[in-house]
Amino acid sequence: MPVLPYKNSLPQVASGVYVDATAVIIGDVHIGEDSSIWPMCSIRGDVNSIRIGQSVNIQDNSVLHVTHPRKSVSSGIGAEGFKLEIGSEVTVGHQVVLHGCKIESQVLIGMGSIVMDGAIVRSRSLIGAGSLITEKMDVEGGYLWLGRPARRIRALTAQEMETFAYSAAHYVRLKNDYLHNA
């Protein structure tokens, strides 16, 4: 698996994590137990840190990156820049871009979505496919968000709320199949 250092930072990948041979993980990246990184993903913690929790699946062709710290805060970015934090039991669909944002636990981000710098996606949020979460947006949990830019559409049903844990568990089983049948 292509896990590469950047300067003095080597990615830390917990036991039981599946990383596809075509994915690339660089720099200050920590990935929690039972997570999975699928084909052609780029996770680049070169200019700030990336933290990924347990039972997270990052699906094919997704890009995870960060914003570097700035000496001047006049840009509105702030001295710390924007790191990327992902909680536990998060499903990140195919071709998603997560850039310098915070994704809390039990979130599903639909295919082709983009989450920008400083945004926070709260627990138990469902981000519909192709949505754009703009810079510094605070996405309230318990709702379906959809559009470019994303808007709160409606409250999630009880059945939809169950999909967060179901999807995470499904991907743990799937990555275990890949690890044991390699």
Inter-CA distances, 27 with 17, 24, 61, 163, Å: 17, 10, 19, 32
Range of the domain at 43: 3-180
Which residue is it, tokens 């680049």? 44
pLDDT digits (tens, 9 = 90+) for 47-88: 999 999 999 999 999 999 999 987 665 556 667 899 999 999
pLDDT band with cut points at 50, 70 and 90 for residue 1: low
Q: Is the pLDDT of residue 145 over 90?
A: yes
**What's the token pair of residue 147?**
């559009």
* pLDDT value, residue 139: 98
Q: Are 133 and 127 in contact (CB under 8 A)?
A: yes
Q: Which segment of 1-5, 23-27, 73-77, 152-156 scores lowest on mean pLDDT?
A: 73-77
Count of structural domains within the chain: 1
The rounded percent of the chain whose pLDDT value lies above 90 is 91
CATH number of residue 99's parent domain: 2.160.10.10
